[in-house]
Amino acid sequence: MSQARILVVDDDKNIRRTVSMALESLNYFVHTAFDGKDAMVQLTGDRYDLIITDLKMPGMNGMELLEQAIAKYPEIKIVLISAHGTVDNAVDAMKLGAVDFLQKPFTPKELRNLVHNVLETESAEAESTSEYKAILKAARNFARKRDFDNAIAQSKKAIGSDPSNPKAFDFLGQLQETLGDFNSAVKNYRVAISLDPTYQAAKDNLERATSNSNSIRPSL
């Protein structure tokens, strides 16, 4: 996310300049606002991936900005800048949705590292999710063609891509049940349910697999 858009909010002109210079060196697009109210105005006219805001500012402070910005733009990430003595407030802000906080004084390197972690890590996670969906889609396509060997191989590949996601386990169970391997199917349905106890489809599949005879197979 090298072209991420960042809004820096601080009533101190020097802080705004320092933060902007540190982040622009990483090829981020950086704009500034002098308080929360100014920031909200700018948010209505442009898209931002991240807000970096001081907590204590005249007018609309950082906490008020946090609440209003997340209410209107729930996908936006917010990092709080906290001076000594306001750490408790920063922790409270994180409970309301801030992703992290940076305590003053901080170095440009500390700032860049934090922003990189917030933006680039999330980008990697999004790519991983996209890859998982693509692999599982390929598995379903193979299954529709009755190519179960490749369908099973792709399901296992999806599991390797994201072992915390129950969908591939559930689908692998369906494939195994279709082929009459009820013991393996039951194991994978149980894994899916352990990962997501609310996954009703896996619960229904597990109930069927444990009660049906080998002659009854699910349709994919």
Domain map of the chain by residue range? 5-106, 130-211
pLDDT value, residue 130: 78
Architecture of domain 130-211: Alpha Horseshoe (1.25)
What's the pLDDT at 20?
A: 94
Q: What is the pLDDT of residue 87?
A: 56
Report d(CA 54, CA 36) in Å as an integer.
9
Which amino acid, one-letter code, is at 40? M
Considering the entire predicted model, what is its pTM? 0.57
Residues of the chain with pLDDT under 70: 1-2, 84-91, 94, 121-128, 212-220
Which option is the CATH number for 5-106: 3.20.20.10, 3.20.20.150, 3.40.50.2300, 3.40.50.1220? 3.40.50.2300
Query: What b-and-e string marks burial along 3-30, b requiring 16 or more CB atoms within 10 Å of the CB?
Result: ebebbbbbbeeebbebbbebbeebebeb
Cα 153 to Cα 189: distance, rounded to the nearest angstrom: 17
What digits encode the pLDDT tens for the residues 93-105?
A: 767 788 888 888 8
Cα distance from N-terminal residue to C-terminal residue, the chain: 38
The 3-state DSSP class for residue 198 equals coil
- The pLDDT score that the predictor gives to residue 124 is 56
In 3D, which of 180, 113, 191, 108 has the Cα closest to residue 148? 180
